Amino acid sequence: MPDSHDQQRLLAQLQFPCGDPPEGGALQQVADGVYWLRMPLPFQLNHINLWLVEESDGWTIVDCGINLPDTRAHWETIFSRELKGKPVTRVISTHMHPDHVGLAGWLCERWKAPLWMTMGEFLSTLTVRASLGEGGPEMARAFQRMNGVPEESLKIFERHRNGFAAIVAPLPSSYRRLVDGERFKLGGRNWQVIVGHGHAPEHVSLWCGQLNLLIAGDQVLPKISTNVGVWPNVPDDNALQWFLDDMHKFRPLPEDALVLPSHGPPFVGLHRRLDQLVAHHDERLHVLRAACAARGELGASGWQMTPVLFQRHLDGSQVVFAFGETIAHMHCLQGRGEVARVRGSDGVLRFVSTGLVSDVAPIVEDNDAPSEIGV
């Protein structure tokens, strides 16, 4: 991962024209009719940026915050102080993660407003909220064991499971579907839907050429690379390759567009940031490729490669996301033909450099990952 010096160097290539973030319960205008607000999160990533677009007869909310009392209280403050007496007429959720969709149902009910989402995100939210998204605990454990997680470490994943419904309010029973490339009016201007994959099933970003402004969601962040993982219900996804491939959708946008991300400050320098993200993942793939080759015929499981990709101590929740992201990187290498996935006689999948695959026999070995990712 980049050290602090490298991080500062990368940030210096971007511009941050909007100043300090607004306080909770307040708005800050970032473009004509577009307002920035920020809500707290109870995680290491401690905030999410949300957006309000003013209409002639109301307001559109883009992303919602997590379903917790503090977030609802901030919204109520905004409703009482900032809406100029006009109602919320539409709620857009960029994707299914709790900080983005958590209060969508509450907001829609509160204002009798429709919810706009892609089908993939709406149905995924319903599925995961009903605890069906991983096919049940046994499917999740099978996925973890298959990728080398030892029995004593399964508890890390158990603690992480089933928290989704507690922080995501029930969704409306119907919604307005968004599709890639669709154009519609928002605040009297033309906006276009850009759907990206990898971070979420069908993540929405919104582009307005008239404002030269991109509401990027989690697809393009200024200071961190968004999590791109593989999960138990889609164990063979090539999520990272999809994420990287979809960057071409943003390349035609102007370099001087104002990018409104979900985390971190609004910035200018879209093409530079896309280049940085590609370079970051290329470097991470190189590290994993070399580590896999160094293991020779033994290969390495996703669990064993996690501390190679994340060379620092991780807490329980971070381990879960790091594990999924490591598998996404290994699947990317597999899709590019640089490693092969081999199942040992113990049922564990290991990744082996392709030049060694023909000589690989079934493997049984200690699956413990190094202690750096322990809890």
CB neighbour list of residue 300: distance below 8 Å, 6 or more residues apart? 291, 292, 308, 350, 351
Along the chain (375 residues), what's the average pLDDT of each consecutive run of 10 residues? Answer: 67 94 94 98 93 97 97 97 97 98 98 98 93 70 96 86 87 98 97 98 98 98 96 95 98 98 98 97 96 94 97 84 97 97 95 69 36 31
What is the torsional sign of CA 329, 141, 368, 227? positive
pLDDT attached to residue 2: 54
Going by their DSSP bridges, the two strands 115-118 and 88-92 should be labelled as parallel
Enumerate domains of the chain plus CATH numbers.
13-269 (3.60.15.10), 279-373 (1.10.10.10)
CA–CA separation, 186 vs 55, rounded Å?
7
Pick the closest to residue 230 from 161, 323, 98 (CA basis): 323
pLDDT attached to residue 313: 82
Could you tell me the two tokens for 290?
Answer: 């070399």
pLDDT attached to residue 117: 98
- Specify the 3-state DSSP secondary structure of 249: helix
Cβ contact 115:176 at 8 Å: yes
User: What torsion, rounded to 10 degrees, do the Cα atoms 115, 121, 124, 129 define?
Assistant: -50
CA–CA separation, 38 vs 15, rounded Å?
20
Could you tell me the two tokens for 242?
Answer: 């999809």
Given phi > 0 = left and psi -120 to 50 = alpha, else beta, which region is 43?
Answer: beta
In degrees and rounded to multiples of 5, residue 205 shows phi and psi of -115, 155
CA–CA separation, 105 vs 61, rounded Å?
12
pLDDT attached to residue 355: 75
| Largest CA-CA distance found in the chain, in angstroms, rounded | 72
Q: What is the DSSP letter of 300?
A: B
Please tell me whether the overall predicted TM-score, pTM, comes out greater than 0.75 for this model: yes
Could you tell me the two tokens for 315?
Answer: 């807490």
- In single-letter form, the type of residue at position 11 comes to L
pLDDT attached to residue 141: 92
CB neighbour list of residue 279: distance below 8 Å, 6 or more residues apart? none
pLDDT attached to residue 366: 37
Neighbours of 49 (CB within 10 A): 25
CA–CA separation, 356 vs 339, rounded Å?
9
